[in-house]
Amino acid sequence: MSGTHSPSSRIRMSGRSFLALTLTPEAPLVDWLAALDHQIKRAMGFFAGKPVILDLSMMQADTPDLPHLLPALKERGIHVLGIEGGDKSWAAVAEWDWRESPLGGRASGPLSVPEDDKAPPPTLVIEESVRSGQHIIWPDGDVVILGAVSSGAEVTAGGSVHVYGALRGRAIAGIGGNADARIFTRNLAAELVAIDGFYATAEEMDAKCTGNPAQVMLAGETLVFKPLS
């Protein structure tokens, strides 16, 4: 009908922040990829589902094997969110699906895996709460949070996760095949908990433990919830 306008639909939008890992390859690329394979083997699942920025600042237009770098990362299950530091006009990257690196972001410092396999796994201690949108990744050992883990935050550890405050976000322990890892918290109110790839959402958790001090462990392929005395 002329002159009549239907109400426009409201588009719901919200912001979401992620921690993106940055990989900076070095020549020779054959050796760098071998070192990457070594790290992936020692911390299986470390890159799973994690966005990665590929930094080509140490590459040149004629770096040997450069054309095969991006396909090699994809073969290893590494999701490249953006590329920076290089030049998309290089002939070596002409076949790449070049995605510009997202604007903004701050460096959080290097992440590394200790070279000494016999050394005891280090523990990462976070002295404050983990805020919504933050993602703590520590594939080497336990993570200890002296504060709380807010809703929308995530803590990922190769060992166990210890939360001295409330656990309202997500806690993922035992990445890389550590079925003996556990999750401890003074207040279990998590969105999701997982150990060695097995997970439970808030609706699947033991109601006797939610809202109370609890620990989560893996028995076979089942997550078990137990109160902490």
Same domain, 165 and 79: no
Residues 129 and 89 in one domain: no
- Examine the fold and report which residue of 37, 71, 93 is the final residue of a domain before the chain moves on: 93
**CB within 8 Å of 21: residues ≥ 6 apart:** 47, 50, 51, 52, 53, 111, 137
Which residues constitute the domain of residue 80?
Answer: 21-93
Does position 120 have pLDDT exceeding 70, yes or no? Answer: no
Q: What is the mean pLDDT of residues 36-59?
A: 78
- Does residue 116 surpass a pLDDT of 90? no
Residue 197 phi, psi dihedral angles, 5° rounding: 90, -10
pLDDT greater at residue 60 or residue 17: 60
Query: Is 112:133 a contact under the CB 8 Å cutoff?
Result: no
Q: Average of pLDDT values for 11-28?
A: 69
Q: Quick check: is 136 in a domain?
A: yes
Alpha-carbon distance of 136 to 154, in angstroms, equals 6
Tell me, yes or no, whether 215 and 141 share the same domain: yes
Rounded distance, CA 102 to CA 97, Å?
Answer: 15
pLDDT mean over 65-72:
95
Number of domains in the chain: 2
pLDDT in tens, 195-222: 988 889 999 899 999 999 999 999 988 8
Q: Indicate if 89 and 129 belong to the same structural domain.
A: no
According to the model, what pLDDT value does residue 108 have?
A: 47
| 214 shares its domain with 156 | yes
Residues 135 and 201 in one domain: yes
* Pair 222, 137 in one domain: yes
The CATH number that applies at residue 220 is 2.160.20.70
Residue with tokens 């922040």: 17
Burial of 55 (0-12, 13-18, 19+ CB in 10 A): middle
pLDDT at residue 72 tops 90: yes
**Rounded-to-integer distance, Cα 195 and Cα 158, Å:** 9
| Span 131-153, average pLDDT | 91
**154 and 65 share a domain?**
no
Q: Do 129 and 52 fall within a single domain?
A: no
Average pLDDT value for the chain: 83
7-11, 113-117, 135-139, 161-165: range with lowest mean pLDDT: 113-117
Share of the chain above pLDDT 90, in %: 52
CB atoms within 10 A of CB 222: 9
What is the distance between the alpha carbons of residues 124 and 140, in angstroms, rounded to a whole number? 9
**pLDDT greater at residue 50 or residue 63:** 63
CATH code of the domain containing 78: 3.30.70.260
Q: Please name the residues in contact with 111: beta carbons below 8 A apart, sequence gap of 6 or more.
A: 21, 137
- Look at residue 10 in the predicted model and tell me its pLDDT: 60
- pLDDT attached to residue 115: 47
Residues 42, 131, single domain; the answer is: no
